[in-house]
Every structure is written in structure tokens, then in C-alpha cells.
């Protein structure tokens, strides 16, 4: 690429960043880094009525958590700042004036009530009101008025907006890097407002001016902005500026059915739609997702590498990313697949890493220090990690390694605890007390030998033994568990179960 690649992620701080927004940021980031370019964060906050306190912090924290640092943006110096549109406010007016001077835009005085009246009137007749070539001369603007009258009304302080003068009867040829060539008939377009009566530009004007001033080479954004492309291209032409290249990313669709993924889908099906917690909505971070897993699954939502490879770290993504391999059609969101990704990344962590991530959970459970010994915890996570999707799963999977069972699985008890089981367990305890080596293999050999000598069967001893140790029929190899929790703990558990379950079975 001859021109320096400069892309921007330009969210409006109107609430938390949706996971689709994070994907837009990610694709921008990958594209920039692939071509040694710059990734810029621009906060588009010209619509003050939709501004939400805390949203900008949220956006920045989310990018940071995902490991997508921006090269220029709010709080990071850069040659094209400021990077918040509200701080660039004074800059846009002259561009609106320039368009008016060039005859590419005009003043419009129509009040909100008047426009609403037209809208309703049209609706009643089954039509849509569009402010454009076919009716603009009948409306209240500087094209329908005498020039002096318009000037006078402005001078008298009357409120007005500046609208783009869409030329009629033109066929616009637009190019999208993902969708190819698109033809738009200008007669179908409306004269969009560029500048508002509150002295602020609309999204369209500010966006184009800033992309130009910030030397943006490629605009990569969500498909919902595709309808704005015609206006944006016309604005570049009107200013006689070179337009950037455009790529509109496919929507992220609901797990089932039609339509784009919404917050409600997440609530209904129990998965996050935000990267981080926002008010009552829990995010990917709080659910226990690793940021690498989130980045990986997002990259494959709408893009494919053209191979079977599914696991990519960020560096590999930068290398493999190719915008021409982004799909045109919507990408279906699959919550199970996101879990699968997390599981894959969990398996990649070392036992020591997982053990230390598990520590805060153990701390919250008020355990003796010996049970939180890092080497002990490491052995346990190593045993159980292939059953875990999140670090938080470890507690449920391994609770019995840390404290004796508080209850026993009712069904297993009914099935496994016979009238003489408590007695057998009592005899087993005496045998276990006599052992000097409690290492896994020796223990297994000895206990199995004892079962033979006692003329008992494995089925009579091992399932109730597991129930006594674990409280359930789950878990890894029984002798591994016993060896890990140790001789005295194992014996205590068997004794306790023999008493408690013995009483129950004799009722």
C-alpha cells in the first residue's frame, strides 16, 4: 500500500460497547497492524442528547482489556488531535459554510413540528416523507426563499439547519472493499442535515471532516453505516477531497432466527453481549472469558482465514487477516462456540497460571492455608483442567479436594450404600490406618489386594468409597483423589460417611 494506512474506530459514547463494536475495533486494529499502520480511537460525541457518562471510559477499558491499544486517541497524544469531536466543535462550522458557498448545501428553517406534520401526513397516505429534490422547493429553506429573506431570518436569530443539496438524476458508483461496486440513484436519497441549530455538526459532516483531517486511509465500520456511504462519498466529492477506501463489516446475527444480535438475546440465552460489565449486565470479562479467547472468536465472526485453522493469537491474526476474506452476509453468533474458544485457551494455560487464577476463588472459601498451597492447587487443576471452560468451574469440579463433602448424592447413596457397607468401610479404615505409603499406585494395589483377601467385590467397596470421599460418583481416578487429599483426610471422610450414611441406611 503506497499511502500510510491509518484507520479509526469511531464509537459514539452512548452506552457500553456492544461485542459487535469490539469486533469493528478488532478488524480495524488487525488491518492497521498488518500494514504497519496507525489505529486511531475517535470519540464521536456530537450528539450531546445521547451522551452517556462513563461510556468513553468503558470503551477505552474494553479495548485495553482486549489488548487492542490505539496509537492516537483521547488521553494518548497524537498529531491530529483532539480526538473527541466535542473538543473539535469550533472546527466544523467553516466546512458547512464552504459547502453552502459552493452551492452544495443550503439553509433550512423547517421546524421540528412542521417536519413531523409532513411525516405524519405522508404516513397517513402510506408514503414516506423524504426531504429532497422533489419537494425541497415547497419547503422552508434558502432554496425556496429569496436569498435576502433567508439571510434576514438568519440575522434575526431564527433557528436553522444546513442540509446537503443532493443532486438529482445521478447514478453514484460506490466501491466497498467487501461488497464490491454499488450503484445508487441520487433521486432516492434525502438531503441530510449536516449542521444543526445547536451549532454542532451531525455525525455525517463531523465524520467526513475528521476522517479527512486525520488522514484516514480506510474506513472499516459496521454494515449499518452502508446507507450513509452515498452521502459520504458525495461529501468528499463536494469538498474535492480524496475519499478513503470503505469496508462495511457484516452484521453479527442472533444465534437463531432473523435479525442482529441484541442485548435481549444475551439475556434470554444467558450469554454476555458486552465485553465488560455495564450496570446489571455482566460482561465477557466477569463471566470468566480470557481476552485472547474473545479476540479469537470475534475475529472469526465474519472473517475466515481460508483454512481449517481456528485458533489464532493476536500476532497470528494480524498475519492472516485479509479484508477481502470478510463475508458480505451476516455472521451468526454461536454462544457455544465462544465457550469452546475459552476452553481451548484455558487448556493452553500452564498449571501454575491456572492455579494462581484459581487462588482468589479459594481464598473466598475460607480454607486452611495447607489446602491453598500452590503445589497442591497446581496438581488439582492439572487433573481437572480438561473438564473446565472457565477458571470458576474449578471450584465446583474440585471442591472435595479442599473440604469433606457436606452432603452425599441421594441417588448414589440409595444404590451403593447397602446394609453392611458401613461395616465394610470400618474395616477398610483399619486397613488404611496400617498403610505407610499412601502414594496413588501403591494405595490402589493395596486396597484392591485387601478387597480380594476379604472376599469382597470391587463393586461393593469402590463405589461407596467414592461416595464417602467425594460425596458423589464424579471425579477423576479414586486413588488419585485419596492420595492427594492424604491418609488422615481420607480416613476421616470414610469414618464420617460410615456413621452418617450407616444411620440413614438402617432406618
For residue 193, the cross-strand partners are 163
Which of 5, 6, 7, 11 lies at the binding interface for ligand GLU (CB under 6 A)?
A: 11
349 a catalytic residue: no
Which residue, 21 or 405, is less far from ligand GLU as judged by CB? 21
Per-residue CA distances from 363 to 309, 340, 360, 372, 373 (Å): 38, 27, 5, 8, 11
Task: Give the nearest distance from C-beta 232 to ligand GLU in angstroms.
Answer: 8
User: How would you classify residue 62: left for phi > 0, otherwise alpha for psi between -120 and 50, otherwise beta?
Assistant: alpha
Closest to 298 in 3D by CA, of 23, 17, 499: 23
Task: Give the nearest distance from C-beta 23 to ligand GLU in angstroms.
Answer: 12
Which strands sit side by side in the sheet containing 161-164, from one edge to the other?
Answer: 105-108, 161-164, 193-195
Task: Give the nearest distance from C-beta 248 to ligand GLU in angstroms.
Answer: 10
Task: Give the nearest distance from C-beta 8 to ligand GLU in angstroms.
Answer: 7
| 6 scored as a contact of ligand GLU (CB under 6 A) | no
Q: With 0-12 CB in 10 A as exposed, 13-18 as middle and 19+ as buried, what is 179?
A: middle
Calpha distance 323→200 (Å, rounded): 34
Task: Give the nearest distance from C-beta 125 to ligand GLU in angstroms.
Answer: 33
The interface with ligand GLU within residues 22-61 (CB under 6 A) comprises 44
The interface with ligand GLU within residues 217-246 (CB under 6 A) comprises 221, 225
Which residue, 73 or 471, is less far from ligand GLU as judged by CB? 73
x-or-dash string of contact with ligand GLU, 167-206, rule CB under 6 A = ------------------------------------x---
Question: Of the listed pieces 9-17, 67-75, 253-261, 481-489, which binds ligand GLU according to CB under 6 A?
Answer: 9-17
| 10 scored as a contact of ligand GLU (CB under 6 A) | yes
Task: Give the nearest distance from C-beta 9 to ligand GLU in angstroms.
Answer: 7
Instruction: Give the N- to C-terminal CA distance of the chain in Å, as an integer.
Output: 82
Calpha distance 305→320 (Å, rounded): 6
The interface with ligand GLU within residues 311-370 (CB under 6 A) comprises none
Given the residues 34, 260, 263, 448, select the one marked as catalytic.
263
| 12 scored as a contact of ligand GLU (CB under 6 A) | yes
Task: Give the nearest distance from C-beta 43 to ligand GLU in angstroms.
Answer: 9
Query: Which one-letter DSSP state was computed for residue 116?
Result: H
| 398 scored as a contact of ligand GLU (CB under 6 A) | no
Which residue, 208 or 428, is less far from ligand GLU as judged by CB? 208
Question: Of the listed pieces 8-16, 182-190, 320-328, 480-488, which binds ligand GLU according to CB under 6 A?
Answer: 8-16
- Residues 6+ away with beta carbon under 8 Å from 393: 387
Size of the site for ligand GLU (CB under 6 A): 8
Secondary structure of 248-263 as H, E, C letters: EECCEECCCCCCECCH
* Beta pairing class for 252-253 and 331-332: parallel
Sign of the torsion angle spanned by Cα atoms 124, 128, 130, 133: negative
| 293 scored as a contact of ligand GLU (CB under 6 A) | no
Query: Three cell numbers at 171?
Result: 447514478
Contact footprint for ligand GLU (CB under 6 A): 10-12, 44, 203, 207, 221, 225
Active site residues: 263
Amino acid at each position: 500500500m503506497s499511502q500510510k494506512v491509518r484507520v479509526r474506530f469511531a464509537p459514539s459514547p452512548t452506552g457500553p460497547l456492544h461485542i459487535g463494536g469490539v469486533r469493528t475495533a478488532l478488524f480495524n486494529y488487525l488491518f492497521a497492524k498488518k500494514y504497519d499502520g496507525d489505529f486511531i480511537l475517535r470519540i464521536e460525541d456530537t450528539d450531546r442528547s445521547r451522551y452517556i457518562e462513563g461510556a468513553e471510559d468503558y470503551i477505552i477499558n474494553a479495548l485495553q482489556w482486549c489488548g487492542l491499544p490505539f496509537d492516537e486517541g483521547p488521553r494518548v497524544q497524537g498529531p491530529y488531535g483532539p480526538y473527541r469531536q466535542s473538543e473539535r466543535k469550533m472546527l466544523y462550522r467553516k466546512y458547512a459554510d464552504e459547502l453552502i458557498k459552493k452551492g452544495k448545501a443550503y439553509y433550512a428553517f423547517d421546524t421540528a413540528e412542521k417536519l413531523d406534520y409532513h411525516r405524519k401526513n405522508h404516513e397517513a397516505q402510506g408514503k414516506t416523507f423524504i426531504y429532497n429534490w422533489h419537494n425541497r422547493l415547497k419547503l422552508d429553506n434558502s432554496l425556496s426563499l429569496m436569498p435576502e429573506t433567508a439571510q434576514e431570518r438568519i440575522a434575526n436569530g431564527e433557528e436553522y439547519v444546513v442540509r446537503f443539496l443532493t443532486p438529482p438524476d445521478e447514478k453514484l458508483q460506490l466501491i466497498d472493499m467487501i461488497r464490491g461496486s454499488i450503484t445508487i440513484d441520487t433521486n432516492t436519497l434525502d438531503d441530510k442535515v449536516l449542521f444543526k441549530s445547536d451549532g454542532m455538526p451531525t455525525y455525517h459532516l463531523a465524520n467526513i471532516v475528521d476522517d479527512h483531517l486525520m488522514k484516514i486511509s480506510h474506513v472499516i465500520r459496521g454494515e449499518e453505516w452502508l446507507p450513509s456511504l452515498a452521502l459520504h462519498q458525495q461529501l468528499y466529492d463536494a469538498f474535492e477531497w480524496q475519499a478513503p477506501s470503505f469496508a462495511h463489516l457484516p452484521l453479527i446475527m442472533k444465534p437463531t432466527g432473523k435479525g442482529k444480535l441484541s442485548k435481549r438475546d444475551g439475556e434470554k440465552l444467558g450469554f454476555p453481549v458486552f465485553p465488560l460489565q455495564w450496570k446489571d449486565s455482566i460482561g465477557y470479562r466477569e463471566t470468566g472469558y480470557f481476552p485472547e479467547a474473545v479476540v479469537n472468536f470475534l475475529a472469526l465472526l465474519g472473517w475466515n482465514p481460508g483454512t481449517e485453522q481456528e485458533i489464532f493469537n493476536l500476532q497470528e491474526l494480524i498475519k492472516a487477516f485479509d479484508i477481502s476474506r470478510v463475508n458480505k452476509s451476516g455472521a451468526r453468533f454461536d454462544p457455544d462456540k465462544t465457550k469452546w474458544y475459552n476452553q481451548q485457551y484455558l487448556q493452553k494455560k500452564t498449571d501454575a497460571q491456572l492455579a494462581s487464577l484459581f487462588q482468589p476463588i479459594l481464598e473466598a472459601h475460607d480454607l486452611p492455608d495447607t489446602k491453598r498451597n500452590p503445589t497442591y492447587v497446581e496438581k488439582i487443576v492439572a487433573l481437572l483442567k480438561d473438564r473446565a471452560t472457565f477458571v470458576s468451574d474449578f471450584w465446583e469440579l474440585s471442591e472435595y479436594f479442599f473440604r469433606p463433602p457436606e452432603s452425599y448424592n441421594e441417588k448414589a447413596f440409595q444404590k451403593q450404600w447397602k446394609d453392611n457397607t458401613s461395616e465394610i468401610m470400618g474395616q477398610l479404615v483399619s486397613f488404611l490406618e496400617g498403610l505407610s505409603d499412601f502414594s496413588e499406585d501403591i494405595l490402589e494395589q493395596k486396597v484392591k489386594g485387601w478387597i480380594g483377601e476379604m472376599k469382597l467385590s470391587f463393586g461393593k467397596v469402590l463405589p461407596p468409597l467414592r461416595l464417602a470421599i467425594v460425596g458423589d460418583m464424579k471425579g477423576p481416578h479414586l486413588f488419585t483423589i485419596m492420595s492427594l487429599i492424604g491418609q488422615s483426610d481420607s480416613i476421616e471422610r470414610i469414618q464420617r460417611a460410615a456413621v452418617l450414611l450407616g444411620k440413614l441406611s438402617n432406618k
